[in-house]
Structure 1
Amino acid sequence: MTAIESFLAMLAAERGAAANTLAAYRRDLEGAEEAIGDLVSADRDAFASLGGAWAALAPASLARKCSALRQFCGFMVDEGWRGDDPSPALPRPRSRRPLPRLLSHAEVKALFVRAEEEAAGERREAVRLLTLLELLYGSGLRATELVSLPLSAVPRDAPLLTVTGKGGQQRMVPVSGAALAALSRWTALRGDGGKLLFPSTGKSGHLTRIRLFQLLRALAARAGIDAEKVSPHVLRHAFATHLLEGGADLRVLQTLLGHADIATTQIYTHVDAARLVALVNARHPLATREPLPSAAHEASAEP
């Protein structure tokens, strides 16, 4: 078994990587090997030369390839195949993948206030929209994951939703008390819609992503928010950003979002730098340590 095959086997066994993820890693690693030769024996300069070989790539593509190689380099060191880690020589992307427009806490609250007001009369469409909103922002689901949820995914004994994400990978995501209440109201109103949580008469059998997008934008307009700022994906980003702002761990966030690679999750580290500095100053064990006096201060203090 080659080094790349061993690495892919580890990803499948230990991390449960999906077939599409494994295929992407294979392409990136084999492409690097074509450019610089055997990755186990290639020196640091060879890894650095990939910057020229990949110069024409978009920043997002370059970041993905470098992430695959960094993980592979760590694997080689862990396996004892190399005594050094050449990954610091890899090129750095010029910029991170741009984030969509972000919603503030106040804007999210305005969306919920409007949705809750409209759902107060137990009108079927209004309760459905409130439930969709609760799951998008409260659990960070992708639009496709949300609209295609089977009825069996609704939690019974534990407040966890079973979600099938990209590559057919399943994960468990928490469901808030408010979302559980909305789900309960919706399941009582949905009627005999078969096995899908959000049934529709269309070809797919469930509410479409386009219709979800339209419903959210219309709600934003009624809530007095710029409709151009709101989409299912923006609400997923708001979920992640606001969790990170609240102190969530990046690895936990990776699991909740269903990201195969933590490099994808790291785009959320755009949160306010001042808040991060304040967090370090408040929580670091050495934050309260008195600074040692400088030599000049000691000299001036002598009698």
Structure 2
Amino acid sequence: MPDGSLIDRFLEMMAAERGASRNTLAAYRRDLEQAAELIHGSLGNAQADDLRKLMADYQSLAASSAARKLSALRQFFAFLLDEGDRTDNPALDIARPATRRPLPRILTHDHVETLFAQASEEAAGETPPANAVRMLLLLELLYGSGLRASELVSLPRRAVTGGREFLIIRGKGDKERLVPLSERAREAVDRWLPLLADGSPWLFPSGKAHLSRVRLFQLLRELAARAGIDPAAISPHVLRHAFATHLLEGGADLRALQLMLGHADIATTEIYTHVDSRRLVELVNKRHPLARIDDVDLATSSS
């Protein structure tokens, strides 16, 4: 069967059975069609040696890009194996390019408190500027709910009506998830809604649309500068990382954090587990079964 037909069948399976998004399907198609062009012969009949030569052609790419292309090949051949079109998966014999996911920049608790103190001060009083109240709410939602910048700026006005304790977020891959809305954030919402112009469908309108991600980035850095924090250390993404890191430090469950952040893969969430080593030692000392046995033995011997 021609490679094009095999790729089409594979993508149909990915869409129907795994719910792959349009962007994911497009990326798989590009990677597989490119591989079919580079391999002399049929991609569907390729052997491990063919794939090693192909990966050698990808050496000039970033390791993460080459790894993504290999992942597409592995899943493609796994599909052909399941369908009975092959008796092996030659891509499994290919070493995965070494990738190292960089740790996100960490924002300290003191920095977060300083940012909130500045935003709260600017939004204080009986008739604070509307922009100051908006900034406080943006900050509460970024740090208090861990939203992505794109998710935050595009929030519909109806998302926070009715005293809800959760937001329904449509994130990557057009997938919905529930995100908790803290009491502080709900208080900021109650202050912001009366200041919103009638008729806009957005929670953060700007002109004929909603606030842009670029403008959100600028507003955060301007706030940081006024608070005496290096603006280069602040971004919406950094605040999302701070939300995740500080929750884990407080004892949050990794699986619960995965759901709140909207990560499809738990491995993505695990980059936030750069917890202070002293806390790990404390955790082992308190929770390890042998530690409890030692406590029992000590109590028994002393009695």
Q: TM-score range by the shorter chain?
A: 0.7 to 0.9
The question of whether the paired residues in 2 share the 8 Å contact of 1:144 and 1:209 is answered with: yes
Larger helix fraction of residues: 2
For 1:125, which of 131, 135, 150 is the aligned residue? Answer: 131
> In the superposition, relative to structure 1, how do residues 137 and 11 fare at CA in structure 2: closer, same or farther (>3 Å)?
farther
Give unmatched runs, 5+ long, in structure 2: 294-303
Amino acid at match of 2:19: G
Q: Where in structure 2 are the equivalents of 1:190-201 lying within 5 Å?
A: 190-192=196-198, 194-200=200-206
- Is the aligned partner of 1:182 residue 2:185? no
Q: Given the two structures, how large is their TM-score scaled by the length of structure 2?
A: 0.74
% identical aligned pairs: 55
Of residues 115, 120, 127 in structure 2, which corresponds to 1:116?
120
For 1:15 and 1:160, locate their aligned partners in 2 and report how far apart those are by CA, in whole Å. 27
Cα distance change, pair 250–4 in 1 and its aligned pair in 2 (3 A): farther
Q: Tell me which residue corresponds to 1:173.
A: 179
Return the offset for 1:54.
0.8
1:22 partnered with 2:25: yes
> Which residue does 2:297 correspond to in 1?
none
Q: Which residue of 1 aligns with 2:228?
A: 224
1:55 aligns with 2:23: no
Aligned-pair CA distance for 1:112: 1.8
Q: What amino acid sits opposite 1:152 in the alignment? A: R
Match of 1:138 in 2: 144
> What is the one-letter code of the residue matched to 1:121?
G
Please state whether the residue corresponding to 1:91 is helix, strand or coil.
coil
CA distance in 1, matches of 2:90, 2:292: 35
Structure 1: gaps spanning 5 or more residues: 291-303
Letter in 1 for 2:143: Y
Instruction: Figure out how many residues of one structure are paired with residues of the other and give that number.
Output: 286
Q: Kindly state the Cα deviation for residue 49 of structure 1 after the two structures are TM-superposed.
A: 3.7
Residues 144, 181 of structure 2: 8 Å contact kept? yes
- Decide whether aligned partners of structure 1 residues 278 and 209 sit closer, same or farther in structure 2, where only a CA change above 3 A counts: same
- Aligned to 1:114, what secondary structure does the other structure show? helix
8 Å CA contact 1:142–1:232 kept in 2: the answer is yes
Q: Which has the higher mean CA deviation after the structures are superposed, 33-42 or 110-119? A: 33-42
Alignment RMSD (CA, Å) = 3.9
Is residue 2:103 matched to residue 1:90?
A: no
For residues 172-228 of structure 1, what are the alpha-carbon distances to aligned partners after superposition, in whole Å with 9 as ceiling and x for unaligned? Answer: 33322222222222113324252111122x3x4322323322221121122221111
How far apart, CA to CA, are the structure 2 residues paired with 1:257 and 1:175? 13
- Taking the aligned partners of 1:162 and 1:32, their CA distance within structure 2 comes to 39
* Normalised TM-score (structure 1): 0.74
- DSSP-derived class of the 1:183 partner: helix
Task: Tell me the distance in 2 between the aligned counterparts of 1:249 and 1:41.
Answer: 45
Cα distance, 1:283–1:141 mapped onto 2, change above 3 Å: same
- Deviation at residue 87 of structure 1 after TM alignment: 3.1
In 2, the alpha carbon distance for the partners of 1:44 and 1:15 equals 26
Which residue is equivalent to 1:11? Answer: 14
Match of 1:154 among 157, 160, 170: 160
